Amino acid sequence: MIEIAANNPTLKSWVVVPEDSDFPIQNLPFGIFERKRHKSAGVAIGEMVLDLADLQSHGFLDDTGLPDKVFEKETLNAFLALGRKTGRRVRNKISELLREGNAALKNHHNINSLLIPQQEVKMCMPVRVGDYTDFYSSEQHAYNVGCMFRDPDNALLPNWKHIPVGYHGRTSSVIASGVPIRRPKGQQRPDDNKPPVFGPCKLLDFELEMAFITCGENPLGESISTEKAEDYIFGMVLLNDWSARDIQKWEYVPLGPFLAKNFASSVSPWVVTMDALEPFRISGPQQNPKVLPYLEYGGKKHFDINLEAAIKPEGSEEKAVTNSNFKYMYWNMAQQLAHHTVNGCNIKTGDLYGSGTISGSEPGQFGSMLEISWKGTKPVPMPDGSERKFILDGDTVIMRGYAEKSGVRVGFGEVSTKVLPAL
Ligand code: MN
């Protein structure tokens, strides 16, 4: 594990941080916020956001080697392109400025415009996503789906333990938390003996996922090893990879996901850096059969991050429907990126890589309604007396995630999306 000054669990900030906050001084995630119709990069601390464009213009980041006005942008791409080492230097500097005992920023005459309540800003897409890939890397999820659609004895397809299976998604419909979605319409074939029908999706589902965002590029034709992969991963967000199960079932043969997946994918606004997640590394599952050499890796490359998904029916209180964990991944991010580039495919700054639905081994840990309601056979009771097999119009799906150790909680905030009726 690398020593990172900003991760010291004894650090405290002069900014008030509520005890259960996702954003203590040990986190310092980066995002893009909008205020008075103006976008800027910011860092979350407690219930506040620190305006990085202002911070830089006042000279507080002068010794970090940043280009001028790198935060006066509508996305974090220019900053991410500077790489992980620059990101670390900036995060360490911000940590110093926010530390108890350091009055330089605290007593600045413009502190009230530098440090703004999160309530007063709107959070936006943190990056301009160039390419979006979604993996399928949780064994329990792949097993559950295989049981439902094939049979328990052959739940995993023969390639699953040899290849981090994935597909290329669509970026135009990757949206920020808070942006509502319309129920998608499309072809379905509810009766295998009758022709397909067209209409609003009836089996709308969420997928509880995390995603990593890349920094830097590899030249086309060259691959990235598992050893070097983490140099290209800046940080992570929560991802709700919306899915239309009935459309999916009819369309996915033989080329895989298409319209069932590309109508919306929602991400949380704060990019939690891999540096902040460093203390939460854990060992992954033993991989058997042995993987091919290019997928072998050393060290702890999995992460212990608690995940939750909740449904809030219109006008009612929310109910948590699952509690999973990012540690239930079979393939880790380094393996995913090594596999993605092994054929020479190039990655770019700001690409988004979804984990795939993350399910634990117990029913209370499944990462989609497809699994939670077991294809609709086990409805979930809601606080307002209704029940859910899949997501209904007016429902808001909220995902949250946090890691916790040594009294420090590093959280992601939430990704929240309301479903509106089909047009
Ligand atoms: Mn997915």
Structure tokens at 221: 């034709």
**Spacing, Cα 143 to ligand 1 middle (Å):** 15
Largest CA distance in the chain: 73
Q: What is the pLDDT of residues 278-333, one digit of tens each?
A: 999 999 999 999 999 999 999 999 999 999 999 999 999 999 999 999 999 999 99
Q: What pLDDT does residue 149 have?
A: 85
Q: What pLDDT does residue 334 have?
A: 98
Phi/psi at 126 (nearest 5 deg)?
Answer: -70, -30
Tell me the pLDDT band of 388, cut-offs 50, 70 and 90. Answer: very high
Q: What pLDDT does residue 15 have?
A: 98
Beta bridge partners of 198: 187
**Spacing, Cα 134 to ligand 1 middle (Å):** 6
CA 189, CA 197: separation in Å to the nearest integer?
6
Q: What is the pLDDT of residues 164-182, one digit of tens each?
A: 999 999 999 999 999 999 9
Among 38, 141, 302, 340, the active-site one is 141
**Spacing, Cα 163 to ligand 1 middle (Å):** 16
CA 356, CA 358: separation in Å to the nearest integer?
6
Q: What is the mean pLDDT of the chain?
A: 97
340 is catalytic: no
**Spacing, Cα 241 to ligand 1 middle (Å):** 5
